[in-house]
Chain A
Amino acid sequence: MSSGNTQHEKYYVPDSSIWPLVGAVALGLIAYGAAHYVIEWSNQEAGFGHWFLLAGIVVLIVMLVGWFRDQINESQQGLYSAQMSRSYRQGMSWFIFSEVMFFLAFFGALFYARMIAVPWLGGASNNVMTGEVLWPGFEAIWPLTTTPGGIETQAMGWGLPLINTLILVTSSVTLHFAHHGLEHGKRGALKLWLAITIALGLIFLSLQIYEYVHAYRDLGLTLQSGIYGNTFFMLTGFHGLHVTLGAIMLIVMFARVLKGHFSKDNQFAFEASVWYWHFVDVVWVILFLFVYIL
């Protein structure tokens, strides 16, 4: 060896593993099953799509459990170096960046609809004749409570979402306290604050479900009620899915904390979950601003 370069000791190249292939099979089954399920559902015909989808989800869960079990075992055996933990952290950061870009597509659709598509349909810019001839009587307002095609809905208020915002922001703070507890070896504080965070996350999700029921039953605001309903449900829906995923991650972390995992020096999974939770929190704040308030 040319020098005693401690930063680059031997890199642990993991053994070959069955799980990546299982994961690919799972995604293949999910994609094939979901597509056929959607087709069958929309044509109202019986089919096999849902079985493929279900099988894919089961295989995916098996893969996640198996893969993470292997990772956790290897981590607990101390096989991972500082360099690997940097790789994991950087990988997680880039993954979160890709998630940001996914939300950006839907925010882009929202901004385009509000600033360009809806005003133009109402005759703004040089589109007077579009409004006059194609959509006479259409009034360009936001929230778009009457679409050019005539579907009517009511706008969602922001009372409950404000409470939800406070809950989610608070959960970010409590999670920070939990992380602080881990960093300073206060396991009791760690468990307590983590449990509170999970509880807040679940309350947030329950209130979101309540809001959806309210929207469908009382306001007539559905996924089908024009671009306002589309952007509302797609943004809050995908955000809700991400909160669900984040909550599952935190619950797994809670179980691992109870088993005595994680320390100041070995806490990548915990840290990744924390980052993810802060990320869904930030998305919510932006979403609250642009979907509900403005």
Chain B
Amino acid sequence: MSTVVDTHLDHDDHHDHKPTGIKRWLFTTNHKDIGTLYLLFSFLMFFVGGTMALVIRAELFQPGMQIVDPHFFNQMTTMHGLIMVFGAVMPAFTGLANWMIPMMIGAPDMALPRMNNWSFWILPFAFIILMSSMLMPGGGPAFGWTFYAPLSTTYSTDSTALFVFAIHIMGISSIMGAINVIVTIMNMRAPGMTYMRMPLFVWTWFITAFLLIAVMPVLAGVVTMVLTDKYFATSFFDAAGGGDPVLFQHLFWFFGHPEVYIMILPSFGIVSAIIPAFARKPLFGYASMVYATAAIAGLSFLVWAHHMFTTGMPVFASLFFMYMTMLIAVPTGVKVFNWVSTMWRGAMTFEPPMLFALAFVILFTIGGFSGIMLALTPVDYQYHDTYFVVAHFHYVLVSGAVFSIMAAAYYWLPKWSGYMPNEGLAKLHFWCSVISVNILFFPMHFVGLAGMPRRIPDYALQFADINAVVSVGAFLFGFSQLIFLAVVLKCMAKQGDKAPAKPWEGAEGLEWEVPSPAPYHTFDTPPTIEEPVR
């Protein structure tokens, strides 16, 4: 790498006067501080949402009603979904973007640092409001995270109003965060950092940010219609007034499907950084990775109705959405092929980030294959709303998105904290997680194919054995995450080996040119990039 980096370290140290105390975190404009806040917040939400998942799995351990009543069970499935999507996965990616994108493109900070802080601090308020809705008379939202009308209009409790406004301000937060990322990438790249030299994490976030700005306002529109239908007697989703509940699903999934890619494209960027580093080979097919990401994002706007095959749409529409959905397998296949080709004849080592990245490639691909099964309209009639769907999206979201976030954390923790994650504990965390996640989600395919519906607190007796296994896997997976917490806390407490500037031998990128931990301000004066940095 012939990157000319002149970071003026003495100059940096000179300016390294951080504000101290709580004010530093409340009023900060520093992308690293805000990134840390996002990551810690998402970590907290991961445990809150995970606890709710364990309530669900405890109830489902045996058939019959044991622990919670059905209404509370429905609140758990709803809040688990909302918290994991909007509270854990999305803020984690935004935190990674905040920390890494300015350092990866040689920028001193995000383009709009104050708005950046605003984006973050909205989130705690939004989630306090959302979770406080569970204390309302009649309980919290119980209509599933997809809040289909009329469940969320005619048949919902008053907590819906809190849900709607919480979603509104979360959306504002996401849109501002995305605008910040996209403007940072367009306007803050160091000299020589052309678009096609950007690391893939930056590229995937660039496209993710576009998706966020395009679809979060549609979510705002649809929750507004839910609010007016419930409280102001409009009939967007009510046939008696000329509306249609299916309209809700169209609008929701027009947001919802790109949202799915919002939660996976940054993962692709993370894995595309880690696999070359530990295979000690440049990424295979960089340009095709970029085009594949863009193609996935473009197609994501044309596939939304594959969530709705059973609502009864014209055959032509079903066919269109089926073929468009299957087409997504092509760019996704390009990506998996490229990762495998990158590893082909590489000098591979298996440090914790690489282990999680490898598990990502394999398990995400399993989730992708079950996605193709679900994309087939006639077959979907059988699978719709069964545990097969639950298995599918947990494979792509847990062993996909969440594993990639863990890989990213292990990969960049040395840069963030200045200390190496404890390798023994990290590997223990990996093996516990990768085994238990499969005990948890793989058997769900079978009960789903056999007809077990999702979002039901009780089930037929023939599903009992598999559900018991699934619940055991769930508790194993949940408690395995405490090992991850321990590793992160050890790094934050400055325990363990000090990390060099570049702790991973094969790693490439500007972030490894600055010391570990990264100084409070990096690239006050931009570096000049003369060769591709990937």
Contacts and interface: CB of A to CB of B under 8 A. Distances in A.
A8 interface: yes
A113 B242 contact: yes
Contacts of A19: 114, 118
Nearest to A37: B161
The DSSP consensus for interface residues of chain B is helix
Given A21-B121, A94-B213, A98-B217, A109 B251 contact: yes
A31 B187 contact: no
B183 A87 contact: yes
A101 B213 contact: yes
Interface string A74-107: 0000000001001110110011011101101110
B29 to A, nearest CB: 5
Contacts of A227: 235-236, 241-243
Interface of B: 4, 6, 19, 23-24, 26-30, 107-109, 111-118, 121-122, 124-126, 128-129, 132, 158, 161-162, 164-166, 168-169, 172, 175, 178-180, 182-183, 186-188, 190-191, 213-218, 220-222, 224-225, 227-228, 231-236, 239-244, 246-247, 250-251, 254, 314, 521, 524-528
A273 interface: no
A109 B236 contact: yes
Contacts of A234: 224-225, 228, 234
Contact of B182 (A11, A38, A94, A118): A94
Given A17-B27, A20-B118, A28 B169 contact: yes
Given A13-B29, A125-B314, A31 B129 contact: yes
B241 A32 contact: no
Contacts of A94: 178-179, 182-183, 213
A147 B241 contact: yes
Contacts of A98: 175, 179, 213-214, 216-217
A25 to B, nearest CB: 7
Interface of A: 1-3, 5, 7-8, 10-11, 13-21, 23-25, 27-28, 30-32, 34-36, 38-39, 41-43, 67, 83, 86-88, 90-91, 94-95, 97-99, 101-102, 104-106, 108-109, 112-113, 116-118, 120-121, 125, 134-135, 144, 147-149, 151, 223-224, 226-230, 234
A116 B251 CA distance: 14
* Best-surrounded residue of B29, B168, B222, B244 (most CB of chain A within 10 A): B244
B218 to A, nearest CB: 4
The 4 closest A-B pairs by CB, nearest first: A105-B221, A28-B125, A149-B240, A24-B121
B239 A148 contact: yes
Given A11-B109, A228-B242, A35 B164 contact: yes
A13 B113 contact: yes
Contacts of B218: 101-102, 104-105, 108
Contacts of B166: 31, 35
B241 A226 contact: yes
A54 to B, nearest CB: 15
A3 B525 CA distance: 10
Nearest to A8: B526
Given A21-B27, A36-B162, A87-B112, 6 more contacts: A7-B191, A11-B107, A24-B125, A28-B122, A38-B231, A113-B244
8 contacts: A8-B191, A13-B521, A83-B187, A91-B183, A108-B218, A113-B247, A118-B242, A121-B242
A19 B179 CA distance: 19
Given A36-B161, A91-B179, A112 B250 contact: yes
A27 B122 contact: yes
A183 B19 CA distance: 41
A230 B244 CA distance: 13
B29 A14 contact: yes
B165 A32 contact: yes
Nearest to A19: B114
Contacts of A23: 118, 121-122
Nearest to B227: A38
A203 B339 CA distance: 61
B241 A151 contact: yes
A34 B126 CA distance: 13
Contacts of A35: 129, 161-162, 164-166
Contacts of B112: 87-88, 91
A293 to B, nearest CB: 20
Nearest to B115: A20
A36 B455 CA distance: 28
A120 B244 CA distance: 10
B522 to A, nearest CB: 11
Nearest to B521: A13
Nearest to A90: B183
A28 B114 CA distance: 18
Nearest to B530: A2
Nearest to A228: B242
B234 A224 contact: yes
Given A27-B169, A99-B217, A13 B6 contact: no
Given A13-B109, A87-B187, A112-B250, A226 B235 contact: yes
Contacts of B115: 20, 91
* Best-surrounded residue of B242, B525, B527 (most CB of chain A within 10 A): B242
A247 B129 CA distance: 32
A224 B233 contact: yes
Nearest to A101: B217
Contact of A1 (B6, B158, B241, B246): B6
Contacts of A144: 242
A90 B187 contact: yes
Contacts of A30: 165, 169
A179 to B, nearest CB: 23
B302 to A, nearest CB: 14
Contacts of B233: 223-224
A61 B221 CA distance: 24
Contact of A11 (B108, B180, B186, B225): B108
Contacts of B187: 83, 86-87, 90
A47 to B, nearest CB: 11
A43 B230 CA distance: 12
Contacts of A2: 4, 6, 527-528
Contact of B186 (A90, A97, A224): A90
A179 B215 CA distance: 32
Given A2-B6, A35-B161, A109-B225, A149 B191 contact: no
A88 B166 CA distance: 27
Contacts of A7: 191
A95 to B, nearest CB: 6
A24 B118 contact: yes
Given A94-B213, A105-B218, A20 B242 contact: no
